[in-house]
Chain A
Amino acid sequence: MKFIKYLLVGLLFGIVLTKSEAVSWYRIYEMFHFQSFHMFGIIGTAVVVGVIGLQIFKISNLKDIDGQPIILADKEKGFTRYLVGGLLFGLGWGLVGTCPGPIFILIGAGFWGIGVVLIGALVGTYLYGLLKNKLPH
């Protein structure tokens, strides 16, 4: 089963985010009010590990599991979409305390009410698809 490794990576992700309480509404509130280092520590450490790891990948010319060279596409240039889109996401994140990963994780953890957030997120994604060409990017 070729998807099993992705399932296992997801499993690790779900456990870590739950046990570190990054999925908690309270932790997000605490983060935005600078009342704890916890969330900043998590994101900061992940980024430091990521920067070092990607540099090692680049320097060693590591091939991926299929033997293909590892190339990370640069993000498209732009300003408005990143700032405005980011701001809108931030408003939602601050309100319900869940970014997309935790939405799924919390539903798995038995918080059925977050299903309402998922419905909202799907509708939001759909609305973006409808309005995409009218929005400044």
Chain B
Amino acid sequence: MTRILADLRGFQNQYNKLHSDIFGLSLIRVILIALCIMFTAFHLLLFLQQNKIIMDIFYGTWPWYVSGFLIGSVMLLLIYFGKTFGMSSNLRTMCTILGAGKTSDFFRFDWKAQRWNLAVVLGAMLGGFIAVTYLSDPTVPTVVLNPTTVTEVQQMHIDAPDGKLMPDALSSAEALKSPKVLAILLIGGLLVGFGTRYAGGCTSGHAITGLSNLQLPSLIAVIGFFIGGLLMSWILLPLILK
């Protein structure tokens, strides 16, 4: 009898502890609750979408404020997990795995400490697959651009998007047979790989994380991104694609 009473008291103590924690609303719990709400909202959306109620909103282009909020949350989540958001670091890790450490000190580091980031990459690839396979519908218009943009890219022999994320002119099986297209993709990749490592980060590391942490170097890097991008997009791209 006494043992049962003691058990009950222990249970009550645990219950009280849990209770005070919830109403003490420590920040971690607030975040967890917020995540639960987001999770529920996501499933609600999925349900509504399956029942073709708000299919158009869900299958169409997600608005910038929803997307921006979620990307900011991804960064904060990774920081809460004790890591930092940076996608281009994975390129270095991959070089190390491929054996680049034999020829350069830069690649001699413990790549296993970066496995979490490779998990993010794998998740992102799966996310891309899920988004195009299950969260898209050909009848819902996507990639609806400014009509001026469409006219401009067509003048450079780039097909209109028509719901596609990438132009056929750069990514279709047909286009990939062209040495010129292959060269564009390879050189573009080369600049991205070299530039991000030289600058120490890309859009995720500098533009999102660095600017959020009010880092001057990141602001300089982002200004660099834009000078490069403007130069390419306005002057070089029309010459290259002509």
Contacts and interface: CB of A to CB of B under 8 A. Distances in A.
Instruction: Identify which of B71, B106, B223 gathers the most chain A CB atoms within 10 Å of its CB.
Output: B71
Contacts of B197: 85, 124-125, 128-129
Contacts of A100: 87-88, 90-91, 192, 196, 202-204
B77 interface: yes
Interface in A40-73: 40-51, 53-54, 56-57, 60, 62-66, 68, 70, 72
Interface in A7-37: 7-33, 35-37
Contact residues of B: prevailing secondary structure: helix
Interface string A78-106: 11011111111111111111111101111
Contacts of A36: 145-146, 149
A68 B22 CA distance: 22
Contacts of B200: 75-76, 81-82, 85
B124 interface: yes
B111 interface: no
B33 interface: no
A44 B71 CA distance: 11
B149 A33 contact: yes
A29 B227 CA distance: 14
Contact count band on A: 35 or more
Instruction: Identify which of B90, B187, B197 gathers the most chain A CB atoms within 10 Å of its CB.
Output: B197
Contact count band on B: 35 or more
Given A14-B124, A124-B190, A124-B195, A45 B225 contact: no
A125 B189 CA distance: 10
Given A30-B145, A108-B126, A120-B187, A62 B74 contact: no
Given A90-B226, A109-B129, A122-B91, A117 B188 contact: yes
Contacts of B211: 47, 50-51
Given A21-B165, A47-B212, A91 B185 contact: no
Contact of A89 (B67, B68, B208, B225): B225
Contact of B189 (A8, A27, A96): A96
Given A47-B72, A105-B125, A117-B185, A85 B195 contact: yes
Interface of A: 3-33, 35-51, 53-54, 56-57, 60, 62-66, 68, 70, 72, 74-79, 81-101, 103-111, 113-114, 116-130, 132, 135
Given A64-B81, A87-B227, 16 more contacts: A14-B126, A29-B237, A36-B146, A45-B64, A46-B72, A47-B212, A64-B79, A81-B198, A83-B220, A86-B199, A89-B225, A94-B233, A104-B124, A114-B166, A128-B106, A129-B107
